[in-house]
Amino acid sequence: MSWKNTEYRYGALSIGLHWLMLILLVAVYATIELREFFPKGSDPRDALKALHFMLGLSVLGFALLRLGVRLSGPTPRIEPESGSWQKQSAHLMHIALYVLMIGLPIAGWLTLSAAGKPIPFFGLQLPALIGENKGLAKQIKEIHEVVGTAGYFLIGLHAVAALFHHYIKRDNTLVRMLPSRDRAEEQGVVQSENRNSRHSVHREAEQLHA
């Protein structure tokens, strides 16, 4: 399977990064929700928060890589083709998800910077992005929390849309995002053969009517 995206399906890199991102985000959300079970200032609470920061910063790194991969190649097309409003809403949803994966970690990083707190990253300390300003820290933290909560709905909607395409519309939306060993399908041979056989069925029908 090719590592780059083709006109027919996502490449191994995009697919790997997509599903890795799902796992990372589950962990990012779980760590920040689970902290509520521990009293303020306790070791487990602080450890969960530090994990939230470090995994969230990893999301930022992988999302930038993923965006680079996406922008440097074609976006595989959906077969059968969707209507134009569906294409546009899918495009908007992808932009919103990238904003979530890039904007939220930056907002988190800014929050810690403005609060004058350390920014841990797997044994390293990242630099503060802005100077200390407690009022600003509070405001960015509120935005981070609101957008973070909205992320549950965005991701949920995105997953439901993918399942709708797969089970109801029965197009190749989801299959394009799953690993494949089928080189023919990867290169679009199956699709073009299908198209050719559809065309020949049409031609035969036309000849019968003539």
77 near ligand HEM, judged by CB under 6 A: no
159 near ligand HEM, judged by CB under 6 A: yes
Alpha-carbon distance of 147 to 144, in angstroms, equals 5
Q: Which stretch binds ligand HEM (CB under 6 A): 102-110, 181-189, 192-200, 202-210?
A: 102-110
Considering only CA atoms, which of 176, 50, 184, 175 is closest in space to residue 125?
50
137 near ligand HEM, judged by CB under 6 A: no
Per-residue contact string for residues 32-71; x = within reach of ligand HEM by CB under 6 A: x----------------x--xx--xx-x------x---x-
CB of 18 to ligand HEM, least distance (A): 5
151 near ligand HEM, judged by CB under 6 A: yes
The type of residue at 201 is V
Considering only CA atoms, which of 179, 178, 174 is closest in space to residue 163?
174
Name the region of 46 (left: φ>0; alpha: ψ -120 to 50; beta: rest).
alpha
Q: Which stretch binds ligand HEM (CB under 6 A): 17-25, 128-136, 179-187, 201-209?
A: 17-25
- How many whole angstroms from its chain centre is CA 11? 15
Nearest-CB residue to ligand HEM?
Answer: 108
Selected from 50, 177, 185, 187, the binder of ligand HEM by CB under 6 A is 177
Place of tokens 């559809």: 198
Question: What is the DSSP pairing of strand 119-121 with strand 124-126?
Answer: antiparallel
Query: Which residues, at least 6 apart from 10, have a Cβ–Cβ distance to it below 8 Å?
Result: 18, 76, 176, 177
Alpha-carbon distance of 65 to 67, in angstroms, equals 6
The residue (of 111 and 191) whose beta carbon lies closer to ligand HEM is 111
171 near ligand HEM, judged by CB under 6 A: no
Report CA torsion sign: 155, 161, 166, 171: negative
11 near ligand HEM, judged by CB under 6 A: no
Enumerate binding residues for ligand HEM (CB under 6 A).
Answer: 14, 18, 21-22, 25, 28, 32, 49, 52-53, 56-57, 59, 66, 70, 90, 94, 97-98, 100-101, 104-105, 108-109, 111-112, 119, 141, 144-145, 148-149, 151, 155, 158-159, 162, 173-174, 176-177
